[in-house]
Amino acid sequence: MAVRKLKPTTPGQRHKVASTFETITASTPEKSLVKGQSKSGGRNNTGKMTMRYIGGGHKRKYRQIDFKRNKDGIPATVKSVEYDPNRNARIALLYYADGEKRYIIAPKGIEVGQTVLSGKEATPDVGNTLLLSDVPMGTVLHCIEMRPGQGALIARSAGSYAQLVAREGRYATLKMPSGEVRMVLVTCKATVGVVSNSDYSLEVSGKAGRSRWLGRRPRTRPVVMNPVDHPMGGGEGKSSGGHPRSRKGIPAKGFKTRYKKKDSSKYIIEKRKK
C-alpha cells in the first residue's frame, strides 16, 4: 500500500496526499452483503440536535463484515480486495467451499486466490483465524475478541495490530496497539497479520471540503463562545478560557475518566503510554 502526492493544479490539490488504491481489485461490492443506512445529522427521534458538528456527507452503503469468523474448518478463497467507505482498512470478499460469501477485514499482504481458514485446523498464516491457545508466541494479530464468541473488538483499524507476548493457564497476555499490556482468555479468537492500508496515517485531506464529504461540520472552539454557551467562553479579546473542560465542566487533557473499580482493570498488567 502506498500514497501519492498530487500536483498543485488547484489550492485543494496542493497539500493533498492520497492513497494509490493499488491493492483494490473490485469496484462494486457484493450485492448480497450490502445494505442501506440512514444518517441522523446528529438529531434524536424528536429532531433535537444531541450531537454537534454532524451533518451532510456522501451517501454510504454498509458492507456487512464477519467479525466472528465462526465457519470453522471450511476453507475460503479470497475473491477480491475492496474499498469500504465505512472504515479506513480494506475489506476482502471470501467465497467459502459451501457456497457462502462473507466480507472480512483484509490483512496486509492478502492476495486474490489465497485460501484462508479458521478453527483448530488453521495454521498461523496471514488471514487465518485461530484461538489464542493455538497461536505461537510473538505472533502479530488483529481482529481479536475480548470475550469468546463476541466478535472482534481489538485492532481493527488500518495498520493496527497486537502481539502475543505470554500465555499462562486460562489467559494470554497481549501487547495492545496503544502500548497497554493486558490479559485475554485463551478461548478468544484472533486473526494472524497486520490490518491493511497501514499508510492511511500519511494521507492529507488537502481542503476543508473533504471533511464535509465525510459528514463533519465545522467545529467551533470553546474559547470563542460566550459564557452562556461553554465554561471556557467569555472574556475580552484573546483571553484564554482557563482550564480545558467540556460543556458539562468535566476537565480535559490529563483528567482520568476511567472508573477506578471497573471489573476489567484487574486484567491490565501495564497501562498504556501517555
| CATH code of the domain containing 103 | 2.40.50.140
Confirm whether 103 is domain-assigned. yes
Question: How many angstroms separate the CA atoms of 170 and 113, rounded?
Answer: 36
Residue 96 DSSP class: E
Provide φ and ψ at 115, rounded to 5°. -105, 130
22 belongs to a structural domain: yes
Strand, coil or helix: 274: coil
Q: For the chain, how big is the Rg over CA atoms in Å?
A: 22
In a domain? residue 248? no
pLDDT band at 238 (very low <50, low <70, confident <90, very high): confident
- Is residue 132 classed as helix, strand or coil in its secondary structure? helix
Confidence category of residue 240, pLDDT binned at 50, 70, 90? confident
Cα gap 212→193, rounded to integer Å: 33
Does pLDDT of 254 surpass 90?
A: no
- Report the alpha-carbon distance of residue 160 to residue 140 in Å, rounded: 10
Range(s) of the domain holding residue 153: 12-201
User: What are the Cα distances from residue 35, in Å, to 64, 76, 247?
Assistant: 8, 23, 36
pLDDT band at 1 (very low <50, low <70, confident <90, very high): low
Question: Contact at 8 Å (CB) between 208 and 217?
Answer: no
Whether 84 shows a pLDDT value over 90: the answer reads: yes
**Residue 272 is assigned to a structural domain of this protein:** no
Count structural domains, the chain. Answer: 1
Mean local confidence (pLDDT), 264-274 = 89
Average pLDDT over residues 64-70: 97
With b for 16 or more beta-carbon neighbours within 10 A and e for fewer, the 234-246 pattern comes to beeeeeebeeebe
Q: Please report which confidence band the pLDDT of residue 87 belongs to, taking 50, 70 and 90 as the band edges.
A: very high
How far is residue 43 CA from its own chain's centroid?
24
Predicted pLDDT at 239: 85
139 exposure class (CB count in 10 Å sphere: 0-12, 13-18, 19+):
middle
Average pLDDT over residues 261-268: 92
Q: Which strand (E) or helix (H) includes residue 212?
A: helix 209-213
**Where on the phi/psi map is residue 243: left (φ > 0), alpha (ψ -120 to 50), or beta?**
beta
CB atoms within 10 A of CB 84: 19
